[in-house]
Structure 1
Amino acid sequence: MQTVPQGVYEPAWMEIDLDAFEFNLDAIKRHVGDKVKFMPVLKGDAYGAGAEVCAEAAVGAGVDALAVVRVREAVALRSSGVKLPILNLGFCTDLEITDLLKYNISQSVHRLDLVAKLNAVALASGKIIGVHLNVDTGMSRSGLPFRDVNDFFELIKGLKGLKLEGVFTHFHSADGEDKSFAYGQIAEFETVRAAALNAGFSQLLFHTANTAATIDIPESHFDMVRPGIGIYGLYASRHISRKLNLRQISSLRALVSNVQTLNAGCGVSYGHTYVTDRRTKIATVQAGYVDGVNRRLSNVGYALIHGQVCPIAGRVTMDQTMLELPDSTDVKVGDVATFYGSDGSETILMDDHLDIVGIAHEIQTGIAVRVPRVYLRGGEVVRIMRYSAFSTSKEG
């Protein structure tokens, strides 16, 4: 039976197991070997797990660099004391270029206008900005077209304000059952790599591997891997091997705020999409879709109370969710419901809902900032992070 962690006074909270996080980092690191650098992705506030705390743990685990997708995320990591190389994989606005210099942040590039701006600002400051070339090998989201890489390599040789540190691409289907698309991208990337070496760039970091490729496609490792969702113990699809035994680091729990017994024929929640077919105990729990209980789990998802499975009854609402209770369960107001995580011998994994929600990323990142992050080691609270619209408080 779950209890409220020490120091938590809110009706819903997210628990983050730092032991599991470090286990995942170590498992991936051992899998790729010492010759391959390891750059975990901490974008989106470490997929909602808290970038500052996760970065501290990652640095302690011996990773080589960190990746984000916003300059602001990189600045926050620097401000928290991170000294490792940080690569912004995403977009950089004109007004953020000075932050790249001030905080020593490497920037991904593919647009020539951004390259020119970066170079001009760097030259004016007397400093150099490190850049990684993003090459589009099939994602069709961002990246320099494959046909233009030779021209880029010749161009950047003459830009004294920039240092080309690496070249990368992104897989579009490495998590699919058919890996042939990924191997096709690797073949194209090998051509890019050869072009870079022929142009005289012999000290670059070449990297392609997301979590799926890191686990299942060793040919994608090159000089560095950059897993994201896997370091949090999650998988993008059912077609990724579970051979590393990664551990889900996050649990979502909330308090029961009401328990009632309804007669047969009573509708529950908006639209009465659930109607009792007998006398039924219903618990109201203080977590809704804004807190991370995805609305698509309405009438098909479930939670755990007292180690027993309790189906979601009716539509998940914004702030609350109703659960159908087993007849034999003596649930009371103040008891803890677990939407993700373990209670007794039962466990709910975010991966269990892949067929309903689509991807674990959406679940992990969908836990609202109003839900405090409770960090555990050895089952004990070591830190609590609380966010609000106006400030961030740190405790523990």
Structure 2
Amino acid sequence: MCTQEGVECTATVFFKVISLKFARLILKKIYTFSIIGGQRKISHSVGRKLCSFISSSSSCISKVCSGLRHKSRSASQTKSVKNMAMNMENSSKDLVNEVDHVDMLDASFDAYEGVIINIKNDMDENVFTALLQTSISQWRQQGKKGVWLKLSLEHVNLVKPAVKEGFWYHHAEPTYAMLVYWIPETNHTLPPNASHRVGVASFVVNNNGEVLVVQEKSGAFKGTGVWKLPTGTVEEGEDISAAAIREVKEEAGIDTEFMEVLAFRQSHKSFFSKSDLMFVCMLKPTSLDIEKQDSEIEAAQWMPVEEYANQAFVKKHKSFDYIAKICIAKKDNKYVGFSPLLTTTASSAKKSYLYSNYQLEQ
């Protein structure tokens, strides 16, 4: 038979466990309502108080159970009460672990205390908002700073709720939009989006001292009669040298070998408020028969370099005039440009080129 003290202790444990179950039920109802309704944030103070209550109750249960084990006198009573105490203690620990678990968005961390959110599956806007709020709260406690949210076209429904929570656009590509958020209450130090567009102008000169020139069907030079160097934009992941070779092939059908970067020009506010870098490159032709691109090129031909340089338009505009003079100096072997030196990046060992007029020792 149990002693009166044992019965009182058992009753204490019983009511503590009932209180724990009730507290867990309240916490679950609040969290479920927040996720489904989407109109209230989870009260962190309420959550903390409930968790604190559960934790303290668990501690109390452990103490009572310990007392039961020490104060029970009969062997059969000790075994019975001990088993009951262990079961109740384990149950209380399970409750604490269940409440301590917080659902958050799937994310990874970078080397700069940043967070990269990974949205893989379709998600309801209200569920996303609740998880985002909880996640940011946790990341703030962890000392995280910038948050990167990449949303594909399939997840465009999450842009509006993200913006409402303080995110702003960083950049966009054809298949996604990148939004960012700064957690600390300081000015953000997130790196800006790419600020420049990169282009190439190709100076292709044959053995007769003639330069390859084209007239364009559209753009600023349409209908002007101006002969210009083949030009174009460097594509993502493309080397300057490869872009110059490609543009010449596309516009005039001429195969070439890259030789040097002769010069480059920087300008601003030229393309959707972006800055522009134009690299003037020298190429050696390995074929001579022109096959112009009908969709963009009105005409293409080989022209004496001096004739190209003496065009009224070229002489009127300083940048074109400087480029023409540099090209003539190079043709006459009075100018040294930058040749590509194959190397690798320090961080990832990827192939890259260093352009320099440094002469490697043979």
Given the two structures, how large is their TM-score scaled by the length of structure 1? 0.23
Instruction: Give me the TM-score of the superposition, normalised by structure 2.
Output: 0.24
Structure with greater Cα Rg? 2
Higher helix proportion: 2
